[in-house]
Structure 1
């Protein structure tokens, strides 16, 4: 690596860190002003606010804003160099326009790898703590209020609950049916079911077990019993931003589990979350290329024009990501398309701008 490469790389990385720190400070200040009343109401101390919440909130923000901050850093550094005619001097000295991209690509690749590891493993763990904090102190307490709940716990087993209380772990009018070859072969019903936190089993009261044969039915009854049935209290817990709390392996496990239960049609948000985490590092590379191309030419308007243009393009990119993500989650678009289409569109734009750029 030549001295000029080290010079550009150092400026690029330090500017990225500076921009991220500034944005984090602004967002955290705004967030604190909005939540300070909740902190006071619950008498939260330094540890709860800073360590339990804001440390994890910052990790979440870093994963969220990194592609755009890389783009802004690229535009800022390249515009400054173009404004001081440093780029013209490099090109006049025999450096090719494509060679100019090398230090940026090294820096962007390092950030992309770091970002992928963060979004795949570190940020989800931080989000577990952040969302748990928000659920405990910011949001209203969750109450499972659905009635007449129908669920599928595997390809042949169906569950029904008239109601469930997630605070007492108690359900009313419980039924579980097993189907084979489109015929009902067994039906288990109970007036009440309660999760035993010590035994980690369900305790059922006043139960009946119907077993169906070709020409007869056997009915067994009982007062109470402990059993496992492929259903857990976590199935009735809040799913508030649950997709953000899963690591990449956990997302795969959750999707496989839900597909086995026959709920694959409701998994759009998890598919998009998975594919977007893979797409984000490539977005960093694409936005870096675009940032170089749009800001490497010296303009009469100066550096401020290129920076303003960078913010406009960043806003357009955010708009594409939000719309595509929403369409992917709703099933209007294939989740892979929803996650990757902003990269594809901006990748094509970056190639076109590079082709048109004066070299």
Structure 2
């Protein structure tokens, strides 16, 4: 009878600890994700308002980039949630009261540790498969949008290369495709570019072609036989048509777009040809290292939260940001050592987890003792 009573009591306790842990973790996840996605959000609003991209396409782009952000914000949220949860339990003397009833601290810590371990195991697959697949779709969708609306690549006072042309525009009205202060260089085989200038112009495009209709300008060409001579032709309107169908889609994947199987295949292929694979191996191991950051953050967050003994979510957020900056510094150093061959890639990217995990385990032992 006593056994069943203790089991029932522990279930209630574990359920209570989990309910204290999940809400601040979800809140932290929302806040951290929102902060990191802000830059993309501003870019998306610019695409929607200034460049005429549809709302559906903008939402798709944000959706595809979100997994790459969650790779970092989920571990940060686990850390913040752990700090806030155990900080509140400690500050309200609930941990002391639970201990007084004969329950060990390890029993209090266990549900959050197990939950963070489950999250880490899930993140292994998420980081290796879902995030790179989503980023690959982001890149493909952006290419498709650019094909339909090349003007979204056009920025004021910035050179843009399209086929054999280099284009500079002083002012751009993105939505209407109106340009002013236009300078174009057409690269020729003889090495002497043709300079085309126009006071204003329009840009019209579809998936196959982009048409520049220029007004009130001139064309300057050097004599290929005598570079000291050149000719100037003035025009009221002049059309330049560029074939976009010849521009191939981005088929070659960047490292961060590769899924686990693709990374391993590329590593084996390069090793067979005696080509260094440090960067690929670092990326492969880094994804698993980041996944288990949730677990080690939980280990360090429990004792730190108890020692903080302060109410309020601001303490948890501040501590979590500081710890994550430390983790990120160690990770960057480890990545650098792994890519340069100073340390094995596996060891390089797991250094932060080892340091923080060992420190957290030791602090839990000291706290429970």
- TM tier, smaller: 0.5 to 0.7
Q: In 1, Cα distance between the equivalents of 2:266 and 2:72?
A: 22
Residue 302 of structure 2 is aligned to residue 292 of structure 1: yes
Structure 1 residue corresponding to 2:259, chosen from 212, 234, 247:
247
Residue by residue over 1:164-196, the C-alpha shift from the partner in whole angstroms, topping out at 9 and shown as x without a partner, is xxxxxxxxxxxxxxxxxxxxxxxxxxxxxxxxx
Q: In 1, Cα distance between the equivalents of 2:109 and 2:161?
A: 51
Unmatched 5+ residue regions in structure 1? Answer: 145-233
Q: In 1, Cα distance between the equivalents of 2:161 and 2:255?
A: 17
1:42–1:348 distance in 2 versus 1, CA, 3 Å: same
- Per the alignment, residue 155 of structure 1 pairs with none
Asked if 1 retains the 8 angstrom alpha-carbon contact of 2:296 and 2:360, the reply is: yes
Q: In 1, Cα distance between the equivalents of 2:308 and 2:34?
A: 31
Structure 1 residue corresponding to 2:17, chosen from 5, 8, 20:
8
Residue 136 of structure 2 is aligned to residue 131 of structure 1: no
Correspondence list, 1:8-47, <5 A: 8-40=17-49, 42-47=51-56
1:287–1:325 distance in 2 versus 1, CA, 3 Å: same
Q: SS in structure 1 opposite 2:59?
A: helix
- Per the alignment, residue 119 of structure 1 pairs with 127
Residue 313 of structure 2 is aligned to residue 317 of structure 1: no
Asked if 2 retains the 8 angstrom alpha-carbon contact of 1:295 and 1:306, the reply is: yes
Q: In 2, Cα distance between the equivalents of 1:331 and 1:36?
A: 42
1:131–1:106 distance in 2 versus 1, CA, 3 Å: same
Q: In 2, Cα distance between the equivalents of 1:133 and 1:120?
A: 21
Residue 271 of structure 2 is aligned to residue 259 of structure 1: yes
Tell me the TM-score normalized by structure 1: 0.66
Asked if 2 retains the 8 angstrom alpha-carbon contact of 1:293 and 1:357, the reply is: yes
- Per the alignment, residue 286 of structure 2 pairs with 276
Work out which of the two has the higher radius of gyration on C-alpha atoms and give 1 or 2: 2
Deviates more, 1:69-78 or 1:317-326: 317-326
> Aligned-pair distance for 1:50?
0.5
1:292–1:65 distance in 2 versus 1, CA, 3 Å: same
- Per the alignment, residue 364 of structure 2 pairs with 354
1:257–1:139 distance in 2 versus 1, CA, 3 Å: farther
Asked if 2 retains the 8 angstrom alpha-carbon contact of 1:71 and 1:310, the reply is: yes
Q: In 1, Cα distance between the equivalents of 2:293 and 2:87?
A: 21
Aligned residue-pair number: 265
Q: In 1, Cα distance between the equivalents of 2:48 and 2:280?
A: 31
Correspondence list, 1:104-183, <5 A: 104-133=112-141, 137=146
1:335–1:298 distance in 2 versus 1, CA, 3 Å: closer
Asked if 2 retains the 8 angstrom alpha-carbon contact of 1:294 and 1:306, the reply is: no
Q: SS in structure 1 opposite 2:342?
A: coil
Structure 1 residue corresponding to 2:94, chosen from 86, 91, 112:
86
Residue by residue over 1:248-307, the C-alpha shift from the partner in whole angstroms, topping out at 9 and shown as x without a partner, is 1111111112222332x1x222101111222233322111011001112363x5455455
Asked if 2 retains the 8 angstrom alpha-carbon contact of 1:13 and 1:107, the reply is: no
* RMSD, aligned CA: 3.0
> Aligned-pair distance for 1:42?
4.2
Unmatched 5+ residue regions in structure 2? Answer: 1-9, 147-151, 155-159, 164-247
Q: SS in structure 2 opposite 1:310?
A: helix
- Per the alignment, residue 100 of structure 1 pairs with 108
Q: In 2, Cα distance between the equivalents of 1:133 and 1:100?
A: 47
> Aligned-pair distance for 1:79?
0.9
Q: In 2, Cα distance between the equivalents of 1:349 and 1:139?
A: 48
> Aligned-pair distance for 1:7?
1.5
Tell me the TM-score normalized by structure 2: 0.64
